Structure 1
């Protein structure tokens, strides 16, 4: 490994990677870095017909995307526009103004490619990363940056500036923490809010609304600041089940926010957020897909090239939108005749694989699982409990491993000349190595290389933000072949992490036996096959290539009353694609069982080393 570069702002590695590296700002720069592609577009429409369509918008870490879907859940056209990001050590920031401009560009282009007019769009939904937005009483940005730059009013989801604040909050053992796996992550909102109050008092006094990014998008579109049960329950410690006895999805109305634990906010030093019936963090909440306000405002409609009054659904976090876009994407052969639809859902885990990976599974009963977030009521599928695991760096980690190897520039040039991705080229190199070395199966190439992928801490199931990554088995070999082995071992380490999460969830009451996967990394066939072999479950991919956008569009369809419930919309608009089965070779299972044991031991060794050094410095 050589050098140090910032994480890529797009996943996976793109063909013009070498040029991107030359243009990318270093991780400690005060200047913004940009994704390399100005606009990505796809279209599946060649003729114009009068129809009803639904529009989904998703804001990821590096871009804002829009997709247009028909009444069968078929993608008609999509577009992507880059967004600005600033990175300095653990502080990662964005601009809500910049994001809205990117959304406007993406929506207009997606509709143009789909040959859709504004009056054909019958519903609109937003999804976004769980980033924290600060605005004043006029809706103008308030800085959350040491720089004082007012544009930088978003603390990005992966920002880890609030580790110390999270530790202090967790030390109080508040009852609300049992619904977060026993501890808050520094990626959740209360630690970040406390950090701003303690470090940027002027900004703290100016903020009129603190919002999750997806809630801010729906507010920007409609003027209605009702918050989603998804964002508030998953990232703000809101107790959504406070509504269980009084409300259900079919009520579909704003609900007074009765799920805030005022004692918790007082205890952690943020009692001022309780003032005004929690006005700054949410006075009303709603189920995902609830129609907001009077729909799209005239001003927002003009900016997006749409028609005022289009129903806009209460938002979802992007990973959860991916869940809504794939959860019913199961072939008929996987149906369980003796089970109800609700029971069948509970055997499926969703992997949303991008910069990070989210692992989500629903249940009809609440299950408390140490180190895994939840149980969250109605956070994804209304009236179901959600368990959410995760890995904070997966696509980002693969990018990091590849880009920081001395062979990376040459590899990127070779991939570009062959018009394939770097991942595809590495997979080819591994296939050739397997044949040349007469290995029984490709995975066995890494018998001497083992990776603990906690380069950005462990989100689940250990919940240790201080965990570090480990690569065991390095040599002086700096060749492309050695890079390919490190890439494969890292990919396997990520899959072992998912296996750990699945086993941990099943040990605490879940019955997961099927995986549904989506996101940029599922385009990598080796990534998916290794996950299937290591977890031992079939992995189902959705028919549509943009399930997060589909999930967002489903919010719009539900808001437009095209379906009576979120689940009905999912059954109508989800569709299955390819199914990847685990290897039937018992040698493959034996091999991965052995490597998985080493994977688990690497963290235990790290803990022992941490204790030894702490004692030495005491």
Structure 2
């Protein structure tokens, strides 16, 4: 009898990656296809949904080909995507305009209007104190309705990257309990925030949202026959419901129990913990009931620009050098980068300030500093932002006893150690660095009936490999960290309205 496999598909900010996994969670092959982002104005970020689909088709076909397996051996697939990548579809299911992806924060004014509307659904935003994030579904939808009324009237569906891809795969339009719980202000699977929509002037949005909401791992449908032919797969393959990439990454690193936290790194950083009790606190998002594991609550912190900041530095000031070369230069410097400190808010701040208008900075530069100082300072600033988030969570009532890290930071031994030293806690790593893709493979195995639930599948498919512990230099970051914490308030006090968009 031939071996059987599942496909996990991870739709990220810069590319879509498809992975073929066996039923023990071993990666067999990967393929990735990049797509572009357009930045029409500062704080704006758009992508073409057709590019997502082309990337999926190419990556899935290449991954299956690379695995040297028969398409009939694929038992199922699932997809995660970036969250709050909002698009409008016409009556034929075609995109009306480019999608406003997650990092698009043009709707800052609309976010303020949502907060002013007031509703119990807003308790997940810093215990109702706000502000509401401009990244989220409702502010973006309000911006589209206000600024593009003709497109809004034409739109039969307002949905996310996740919903659009599942629709293209199966012909069924539905939403994920994960996305609606963490970004649409839904209260559980059925709790649409109708009062909040009415107060914000968005009552018609409820009719444009997908009607059905599915649990993680629940079968959306089987592949549409034409799509199956396009992908080279059987039309009998079930598509299991996925969700937001970082949250599905929680499953991919085995965070399914209370007290654990998944530290998902990449273009942005997400800090996602599980609690058996609900709570709401200033500076943290959540908790979200049933958004991942039924009966448990997800607490969230996050940084908008992390790996993207380091990528900006390399692209702008060191295009001819590899990350390895830059890390080698930075490794020769002491902790604290000889007094150079950066603020990582190049695309605003998600938590604990939720300020779309905050921007990045370097301070302490002298003629004696080099690009290595700036590169290291950026890496340190990102880790300091993570430390601040974990401290804010602790003040709110959640202190994780188990932190599992995955994603882009694992590619840099220096950055890994910087994170452990600045945070001051051990960081556990798992075998598969692409946690969202493995998380999708786990959901696909549940949808295919291989395992009974997410917890059982994660136990069988996730394995830890090593732990990065804080070094003897950890305490040397205390003073630079104190300076870092003061930067946001200091820069906000001199911010010029309208000049930093």
Tell me, yes or no, if the aligned pair for 1:215 and 1:315 is still in contact at 8 Å: no
| 1:592 is the counterpart of 2:480 | no
Larger Rg: 1
Tell me, yes or no, if the aligned pair for 2:17 and 2:30 is still in contact at 8 Å: yes
For residues 390-436 of structure 1, the C-alpha deviation after alignment (integer angstroms, 9 at most, x for no partner) is 1000011112233333xx24xx2xx4xxxxxx2211222234x44xx
Give runs of ≥4 in structure 1 deviating > 4 Å.
none
1:261 maps to which residue? Answer: 193
Per the TM alignment, residue 576 of structure 1 is displaced from its structure 2 partner at its CA by 0.8
2:62 maps to which residue? Answer: 109
| 1:218 is the counterpart of 2:103 | no
* 1:464 aligned residue (328, 341, 355): 355
1:167-178 equivalences under 5 Å are 167-178=112-123
How far apart are the structure 2 equivalents of 1:402 and 1:122? 41
**Secondary structure, counterpart of 1:316 in structure 2:** coil
Per the TM alignment, residue 376 of structure 1 is displaced from its structure 2 partner at its CA by 1.1
* 1:449 aligned residue (340, 343, 365): 340
How far apart are the structure 2 equivalents of 1:97 and 1:302? 18
How far apart are the structure 1 equivalents of 2:247 and 2:59? 21
How far apart are the structure 1 equivalents of 2:156 and 2:287? 30
Tell me, yes or no, if the aligned pair for 1:457 and 1:467 is still in contact at 8 Å: yes
2:290 maps to which residue? Answer: 378
Per the TM alignment, residue 567 of structure 1 is displaced from its structure 2 partner at its CA by 1.1
For residues 293-322 of structure 1, the C-alpha deviation after alignment (integer angstroms, 9 at most, x for no partner) is 3x1111221121111021111121111121
1:569 maps to which residue? Answer: 457
Per the TM alignment, residue 203 of structure 1 is displaced from its structure 2 partner at its CA by 0.8
2:145 maps to which residue? Answer: 197
1:271-420 equivalences under 5 Å are 271-274=203-206, 278=207, 280-293=208-221, 295-328=222-255, 345-405=257-317, 408-409=318-319, 412=320, 415=321
Normalising by structure 1, report the TM-score. Answer: 0.77
* 2:185 aligned residue (219, 229, 237): 237
For residues 158-210 of structure 1, the C-alpha deviation after alignment (integer angstroms, 9 at most, x for no partner) is 11111111112112232211123333211101111111111111110111111
How far apart are the structure 1 equivalents of 2:468 and 2:252? 19
For residues 240-284 of structure 1, the C-alpha deviation after alignment (integer angstroms, 9 at most, x for no partner) is 1xx5xxxxxxxxxxxxxx31121111111111123xxx3x21322
Tell me, yes or no, if the aligned pair for 1:324 and 1:381 is still in contact at 8 Å: no
Tell me, yes or no, if the aligned pair for 2:259 and 2:402 is still in contact at 8 Å: yes
1:28 maps to which residue? Answer: none
How far apart are the structure 1 equivalents of 2:361 and 2:262? 27
Tell me, yes or no, if the aligned pair for 2:424 and 2:470 is still in contact at 8 Å: yes
**Secondary structure, counterpart of 2:96 in structure 1:** coil
| 1:135 is the counterpart of 2:89 | yes
Per the TM alignment, residue 230 of structure 1 is displaced from its structure 2 partner at its CA by 0.6
Tell me, yes or no, if the aligned pair for 2:6 and 2:441 is still in contact at 8 Å: yes
1:126 maps to which residue? Answer: 79
| 1:427 is the counterpart of 2:324 | no
Per the TM alignment, residue 515 of structure 1 is displaced from its structure 2 partner at its CA by 1.9
2:410 maps to which residue? Answer: 522
Change (3 A) 1:101 1:403: closer
1:248 maps to which residue? Answer: none
For residues 16-57 of structure 1, the C-alpha deviation after alignment (integer angstroms, 9 at most, x for no partner) is xxxxxxxxxxxxxxxxxxxxxxxxxxxxxxxxx811101011
How far apart are the structure 2 equivalents of 1:402 and 1:483? 10
For residues 42-100 of structure 1, the C-alpha deviation after alignment (integer angstroms, 9 at most, x for no partner) is xxxxxxx8111010111111111110000110000110112233221133222222211
How far apart are the structure 2 equivalents of 1:82 and 1:427? 24
Tell me, yes or no, if the aligned pair for 1:513 and 1:537 is still in contact at 8 Å: no
Aligned length: 492
| 1:59 is the counterpart of 2:11 | yes
**Secondary structure, counterpart of 1:86 in structure 2:** coil
| 1:537 is the counterpart of 2:425 | yes
Tell me, yes or no, if the aligned pair for 1:288 and 1:382 is still in contact at 8 Å: no
Point out where structure 1 has 5 or more consecutive residues left out of the alignment: 1-48, 144-151, 244-257, 329-341, 416-421, 435-441
Per the TM alignment, residue 327 of structure 1 is displaced from its structure 2 partner at its CA by 2.5
| 1:87 is the counterpart of 2:32 | no
1:18 maps to which residue? Answer: none
Normalising by structure 2, report the TM-score. Answer: 0.94
Tell me, yes or no, if the aligned pair for 1:346 and 1:510 is still in contact at 8 Å: no
Tell me, yes or no, if the aligned pair for 1:376 and 1:387 is still in contact at 8 Å: yes
How far apart are the structure 1 equivalents of 2:443 and 2:489? 43
1:602 maps to which residue? Answer: 487
Per the TM alignment, residue 508 of structure 1 is displaced from its structure 2 partner at its CA by 1.3
